[in-house]
């Protein structure tokens, strides 16, 4: 089978429920490439090395090869906002990430995320209380509303505006997930409209917070003076939009993939129900075994580079297949086994190197609390459909719906 056919199969929707055998074939060669397609790397050590390689750029303008995936050109900026730091190289990346980190994590804000634990638990308990009926769609009723509420609280969006914020997030997340037969022009128009409305809304909020700052992240981004300098209004907006987008569907998919995997491994579900301390190693293993971000398709070498005898030319499109690296037998023993007791679990599920997930402590905490709560409170949960229907997106992979039959919800 020739290489492009393999890549086409990987992105083909019919394989979305189980791309892992295809990744195994991908790893048979260190670099896959055909005349026109991207260069694709799937081995753990090579992917990790490239994520740490300063010759690999995340900036669109360095790529001369065309984009292969729908939406790859656009993302959240699409001409309305300056590029966010996910899509910038140093030194701009480092400056913006450092300023964003001051109100978020150590050393300046070591308690921001742990300080949200009680609030997150309240949100999770509230969503679980509302799971009535004998069959639920976990995505709609739980996984989906949770992360956007959390981002609102983190940024400091007033409670009364949360539902508007949810509406914009819905549209933007849907625009990442092209549906076959969909009117693309109309979808882009609706997404652009949501982007503008969200931008205007955030702009108003930033102005308010500059005048009278609170303790929320947006206030601190808008009014703070870091040694790295201050963000412009546009930079604050693009960073806020990044936090919303990067932390939304990823977290939805981690929770949903998590529950799906637990229902396929009832003995692990039972262990988690009996002891919530299993949640931490379990979430790490999930990030390895079913990572919500399957691949990083937006990389470009800024100079010709050599990987295991293949030259990847400057300006080429380079795809780093993190989900494949996570199943590489050269790095993980028995990689296709879901094993929450695995030690030395340095997966690539949250990336690696300078762009490694900024929101990682929050993502981990959200998933741990969510899965522990569901395990403890759902009575006799059973999958109604296995595999469940997936979203079309091959990059941010996860079920569109997860129907679970339950006997009730424990108090």
Binding site for ligand HEM (CB under 6 A): 58, 85-86, 97, 242-243, 246-247, 250-251, 254, 292-293, 296, 349-351, 355-359, 362-363
Give DSSP secondary structure letters for 338-356.
Answer: --TT-SS---STT--GGGS
Handedness of CA 23, 27, 31, 33 (dihedral sign): negative
Query: φ, ψ for residue 8 (rounded to 5)?
Result: -60, -40
| H helical segments located in 265-311 | 266-274, 279-289
Q: Which is nearer to ligand HEM, 11 or 58 (CB)?
A: 58
State the nearest-atom distance from the C-beta of 19 to ligand HEM, in Å. Answer: 16
State the nearest-atom distance from the C-beta of 147 to ligand HEM, in Å. Answer: 6
State the nearest-atom distance from the C-beta of 180 to ligand HEM, in Å. Answer: 25
Q: Which is nearer to ligand HEM, 63 or 355 (CB)?
A: 355
Tell me the C-alpha to C-alpha distance, in Å, between residue 371 and each of 119, 335, 376: 16, 22, 8
How far is residue 263's CA from residue 136's CA, in Å, rounded to a whole number? 14
Give yes or no for a cis peptide into 107 (omega within 30° of 0). Answer: yes
- The answer to whether 251 and 257 are in contact (CB under 8 A) is no
Q: Counting Cβ atoms within 10 Å, is residue 158 exposed (0-12), middle (13-18) or buried (19+)?
A: exposed
State the nearest-atom distance from the C-beta of 115 to ligand HEM, in Å. Answer: 15
CA-based diameter of the chain, in Å? 62
How far is residue 348's CA from residue 44's CA, in Å, rounded to a whole number? 8
Q: Which is nearer to ligand HEM, 23 or 406 (CB)?
A: 23
Q: Which is nearer to ligand HEM, 323 or 406 (CB)?
A: 323
SS3 assignment, position 108:
coil
98-107 long-range contacts (CB < 8 A, ≥24 apart) are: 98/226, 98/228, 99/221, 99/224, 99/226, 99/228, 99/229, 99/230, 99/231, 100/221, 100/239, 100/243, 100/358, 101/358, 102/220, 102/224, 102/226, 103/217, 103/220, 103/221, 103/224, 104/217, 104/358, 105/361
Q: Within a 10 A sphere around the Cβ of 102, how many other Cβ atoms?
A: 19
User: Which of 34, 39, 73 minimizes the C-alpha distance to 56?
Assistant: 39
Q: Which is nearer to ligand HEM, 44 or 85 (CB)?
A: 85
State the nearest-atom distance from the C-beta of 106 to ligand HEM, in Å. Answer: 15
Q: Which is nearer to ligand HEM, 249 or 339 (CB)?
A: 249
Q: Which is nearer to ligand HEM, 202 or 406 (CB)?
A: 202
Tokens of 200: 């205007």
How far is residue 386's CA from residue 19's CA, in Å, rounded to a whole number? 15
- The answer to whether 9 and 15 are in contact (CB under 8 A) is yes
State the nearest-atom distance from the C-beta of 76 to ligand HEM, in Å. Answer: 11
Q: Which is nearer to ligand HEM, 218 or 363 (CB)?
A: 363
Q: Which is nearer to ligand HEM, 263 or 296 (CB)?
A: 296
Q: Which is nearer to ligand HEM, 31 or 244 (CB)?
A: 244
Please give the residue whose beta carbon sits closest to ligand HEM in the complex. Answer: 359
């Amino acid at each position: 089978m020739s290489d492009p056919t393999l890549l086409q199969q990987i992105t083909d929707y019919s394989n979305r429920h189980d791309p892992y055998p295809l990744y195994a074939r991908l790893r048979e060669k260190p670099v896959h490439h055909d005349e026109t397609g991207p260069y694709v790397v799937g081995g753990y050590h090579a992917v990790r090395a490239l994520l740490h390689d300063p010759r690999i750029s995340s900036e669109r303008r360095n790529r001369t090869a065309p984009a292969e995936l729908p939406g790859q050109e656009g993302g959240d900026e699409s001409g309305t906002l300056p590029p966010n730091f996910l899509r910038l190289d140093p030194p701009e990346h480092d400056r913006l990430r450092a300023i964003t980190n001051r109100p978020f994590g150590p050393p300046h804000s070591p308690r921001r995320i742990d300080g949200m634990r009680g609030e997150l638990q309240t949100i999770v308990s509230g969503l679980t209380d509302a799971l009535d009926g004998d069959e639920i769609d976990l995505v709609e009723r739980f996984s989906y509303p949770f992360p956007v509420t959390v981002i609102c609280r983190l940024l400091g969006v007033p409670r009364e505006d949360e539902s508007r914020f949810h509406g914009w997030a819905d549209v933007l997340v849907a625009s990442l997930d092209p549906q076959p037969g969909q009117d693309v022009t109309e979808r882009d128009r609706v997404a652009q409209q949501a982007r503008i409305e969200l931008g205007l809304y955030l702009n108003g909020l930033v102005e308010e917070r500059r005048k009278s700052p609170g303790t929320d992240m947006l206030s601190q981004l808008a009014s703070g003076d870091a040694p790295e300098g201050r963000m412009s209004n546009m930079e604050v907006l693009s960073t806020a939009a990044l936090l919303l987008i990067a932390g939304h569907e990823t977290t939805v998919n981690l929770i949903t993939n998590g529950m799906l995997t637990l229902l396929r491994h009832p003995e692990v579900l039972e262990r988690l129900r009996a002891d919530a301390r299993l949640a931490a190693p379990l979430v790490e293993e999930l990030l390895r075994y079913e990572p919500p971000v399957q691949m990083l398709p937006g990389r470009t070498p800024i100079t010709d580079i050599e990987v295991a005898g293949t030259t990847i030319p400057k300006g080429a499109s380079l795809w780093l297949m993190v989900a494949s690296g996570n199943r590489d037998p050269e790095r993980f023993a028995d990689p296709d086994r879901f094993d929450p007791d695995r030690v030395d679990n340095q997966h690539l599920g949250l990336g690696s190197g300078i762009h490694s997930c900024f929101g990682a402590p929050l993502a981990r905490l959200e998933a741990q609390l969510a899965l522990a709560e569901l395990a403890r409170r759902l009575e006799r949960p059973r999958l109604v459909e296995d595999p469940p229907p997936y979203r079309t997106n091959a990059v941010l992979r996860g079920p569109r719906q997860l129907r679970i039959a339950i006997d009730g919800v424990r108090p």
